[in-house]
A and B are shown apart, each in its own frame.
Chain A
């Protein structure tokens, strides 16, 4: 086995790799945030009472899920300046092109996740909020969205992890993200294993951090009071949560079902 630990270690700790990783994370995070915003608007269009927004939003989701992300990036970066002279200026960087391309594609997927999340909240809560006198916007902001976030979090975590890896597509528009950095190292030295494994380690670390972040956010959406032990709970409550001693929180439907 020929694995040169020194080459590996030098690659791993090199400024190029760190820059590449930072670029990957930055592009992924910015694209994901933008995709959530666009996706939310598209999702509202998909569930609208009116035909026109439904049609436009439906078309958007169909189009951007149908075409390859790679093609979108090439279109934005190469065909964009050809069609729009304004894009031939310096400010139109590979990063910006990558951000636009990745976010408009991802928005189509996020729209479906957000639509499903909004529809998962039982209609009765919206009706009760309307009966209280909340305006449609308040019902959305104060009742539906906070609960939709909880539902949308796990699939959005999936999407974000995928997005980090999708940033490697941006190599075609000459963005030196993490995988491109590894590729450049390989093309100079032909030390495949050392450079690729260094990239692999970076991806493992990045995704692990994202997963930690996700579980931290999910914990904030548990919606149980912080009553520490079952001893202090009302009978009706402990009856419904007969979990193992020391367990806190009400089991959800899935946990309940799996116990049987």
Chain B
């Protein structure tokens, strides 16, 4: 499947796992029909690192999150989380895609937050957060209730636990969505343009929760248009364009001394 990187053996679990990056994406390819959305993407995310992915719409940055969340299978390439290759089973050199049931188990290590919140409309905030615990983690209802409540408190929504999604503002819905992913205790949190669907005055409360999360040491990959957030919170910023990473660097480097013409042009538009 993958090419290149012969010197870097993929799945090495065990002794030195803590020295490896927590998340490694290697030569990821994806096409939809005739459109090649990802043309070989590589990057790594260290434990506790916050990585911001910028780029024009249609550049493939949301697709890469969907692949990392195992919601779709890549055409080629590897996703390695904590030393374990995801989405496939390798036996005797043969690589086969996992069935949906087995994928479901692997997804519990990865938290995903969507642009449009995607809360369950028939459940109040508390039960939105509880569902993964009771159904997937098989936690008792009373314990799930306690943990969900604690998580809602953490995102500042303890008072809204009994409210349904239709009764919450966009910012509140997105904070519930963050709590819903976070309560599963994932190894990494993926954010797909978490503030793009929000009214401007509601963006801040969501970014504040994310910044707090980053401060607590959560490993995060954030697709965003919020340049100021990326500069302040991210450890590394990458620019996506036409299915490839054009440039990636620490925020200061990236924003103040971009190496690539494409990055400079992109930054002119968003600043």
Are B116 and A224 in contact, CB atoms less than 8 angstroms apart? Answer: no
- B110 & A135 in contact (Cβ 8 Å cutoff): no
Among B124, B162, B181, point to the contact of A132 (Cβ < 8 A). Answer: B181
| B115 to A: closest C-beta gap in Å | 9
B135 in the interface (beta carbon within 8 A): yes
In the complex, B100 has a CB within 8 A of chain A? yes
Contact B131 A142 (CB under 8 A): yes
Find out whether the CB atom of A133 lies under 8 angstroms from the CB atom of B107. Answer: yes
Residue B104 interfacial (CB < 8 Å): yes
- A225 at the B interface (CB under 8 A): yes
Is B136 interfacial (CB 8 A cutoff)? yes
Which residue of A has the minimal Cβ distance to B115?
A124
User: What's the Cα separation between A223 and B119 when bound, in Å?
Assistant: 13
The distance from the CB of A225 to the nearest CB of chain B, in whole angstroms, is 5
The listed residue with most B CB atoms (<10 A of its CB), out of A133, A146, A150, is A133
| Given A133-B136, A135-B104, A224-B166: A127 and B122 interface contact (C-beta under 8 Å) | no
Q: Is the CB of B122 within 8 A of A146?
A: yes
Which residues of chain A are near B101, meaning CB under 8 Å?
A: 135-136
**B180:A132 contact, CB within 8 angstroms:** yes
Closest residue on chain B to residue A250 by CB atoms: B166
A237 x B105 contact (CB < 8 A) = no
User: When the two chains form the complex, which single residue of A135, A138, A147, A227 contacts B121, counting CB atoms closer than 8 Å?
Assistant: A147
Q: Are A136 and B100 in contact (CB under 8 A)?
A: yes
Is A187 part of the contact surface with B, judged by Cβ < 8 Å? no
Task: Give the residue name and chain of the B residue nearest to A233 (CB).
Answer: B167
In angstroms, how far is the closest chain A Cβ from the Cβ of B241?
A: 26
Given known A-B contacts A131-B107, A131-B110, A133-B108, A224 and B120 have beta carbons under 8 A apart: no
Tell me whether B43 is interfacial, beta carbon within 8 Å.
no
Q: Which residues of A contact B181 (CB under 8 A)?
A: 131-132
**A135, B108: Cβ atoms closer than 8 Å:** no
Q: Per a CB cutoff under 8 Å, which of B71, B119, B120, B169 touches A131?
A: B71
A246 interface residue, CB < 8 Å from B? Answer: no
At the interface, yes or no: B114 with Cβ under 8 Å from chain A?
A: yes
Q: A142-B135, A224-B164, A236-B169 are in contact. Are A132 and B108 (CB under 8 A)?
A: yes
- Measured between C-beta atoms, what is the minimum distance from B137 to chain A in Å? 8
Query: Is there a chain B Cβ closer than 8 Å to A55's Cβ?
Result: no
B184 within 8 A of A: yes
Does A88 count as interface, using CB distance less than 8 angstroms? no
CB distance from B180 to the nearest CB of A (A): 7
Q: Does any Cβ of B come within 8 Å of A130's Cβ?
A: yes
A132 and B122: CB pair below 8 A?
no
Contact status B135-A138, CB under 8 Å: yes
Count residues of chain A with CB under 8 A from any CB of chain B.
29
A132-B181, A133-B136, A134-B132 known; A127-B105 Cβ under 8 A: no
Within 8 A of A (CB), among B65-85: 69, 71
Q: How many residues of B contact A (CB 8 A)?
A: 36
| Interfacial residues of chain A within 215-242, with CB under 8 A of chain B in the complex | 221, 223-225, 227, 233-234, 236-237
Cβ contact within 8 Å between A127 and B100: no
Is A143's CB under 8 angstroms from B120's CB?
yes
Residue among A129, A130, A223 making CB contact with B164, cutoff 8 Å: A223
Q: Which of B101, B135, B181 has the most chain A CB within a 10 Å cutoff?
A: B135
Q: Can you name the residue of chain A whose Cβ is closest to the Cβ of B105?
A: A133
List residues of chain B with CB within 8 A of the CB of A236: 168-169, 172
Interface string of B171-189 (1 = CB under 8 A from A): 0100001001100100000
Q: Contacts A125-B118, A147-B122 given: A132-B166 contact, CB under 8 Å?
A: no
Chain B 181-221 against A: per-residue CB contact (8 Å), 1 yes, 0 no? 10010000000000000000000000000000000000000
- CB neighbours (8 Å) of B118 from chain A are 122, 124-125, 127-128
A125 and B71 form a contact (CB under 8 A): no
Determine whether the beta carbon of A234 is less than 8 Å from that of B122: no
B120 touches A225 (CB 8 A): no
Q: How far is the CB of A187 from chain B (nearest CB, A)?
A: 52
Bound CA–CA A233/B163 (angstroms): 10
**C-alpha spacing A135/B131, complex, angstroms:** 12
For the complex with contacts A131-B69, A234-B169, 5 further pairs of A-B residues with Cβ separation under 8 Å are: A127-B114, A131-B107, A132-B108, A135-B100, A225-B167
A-B contact pairs, 18 of them (CB 8 A): A124-B114, A125-B121, A128-B112, A128-B119, A128-B120, A128-B180, A132-B131, A136-B104, A138-B136, A147-B120, A221-B122, A225-B163, A225-B164, A227-B163, A227-B167, A236-B168, A237-B167, A250-B166
